[in-house]
């Protein structure tokens, strides 16, 4: 039965650790590149100006009231009250 030799074990442990960390970093970089490519493509589609024959994006609804809030419909405050 072979004896346990710690001096021969450490290079193997270090090599496995370096390979594991390298693989994790490679996977993380690949994930970031894929998601940023997808986000960039979505951004380009969303900001592309309409070409001839394409429909324009729907117009925004007009604001309601002075605050633009369809529920509140309160006037804006005209003066500030000091905090006590």
pLDDT in tens, the chain (84 residues): 566 677 778 888 999 999 999 999 999 999 998 888 888 888 888 887 666 555 655 666 655 555 555 556 666 666 777 776
pTM (two decimals): 0.45
Q: Is residue 61 part of a domain?
A: no
The pLDDT, as a whole number, for residue 25 is 97
Provide the domain count of the chain: 1
The pLDDT, as a whole number, for residue 30 is 92
Q: Which two tokens stand for residue 82?
A: 């000091």
The pLDDT, as a whole number, for residue 29 is 94
Can you give the residue range of the structural domain that contains 42? 19-47
Cα distances from 23 to residues 11, 26, 27, 55, 73, in angstroms, run: 18, 5, 6, 47, 57
d(C-alpha 76, C-alpha 74), whole Å: 6
The pLDDT, as a whole number, for residue 8 is 79
């Amino acid at each position: 039965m072979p004896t346990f030799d710690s001096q021969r074990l450490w290079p193997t442990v270090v090599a496995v650790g370096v390979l594991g960390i390298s693989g994790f970093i490679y996977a993380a970089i690949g994930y970031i590149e894929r998601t940023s490519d997808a986000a960039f493509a979505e951004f380009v589609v969303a900001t592309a100006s309409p070409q001839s024959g394409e429909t324009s994006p729907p117009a925004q609804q007009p604001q309601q009231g002075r605050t633009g809030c369809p529920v509140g419909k309160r006037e804006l405050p005209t003066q500030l009250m000091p905090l006590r």
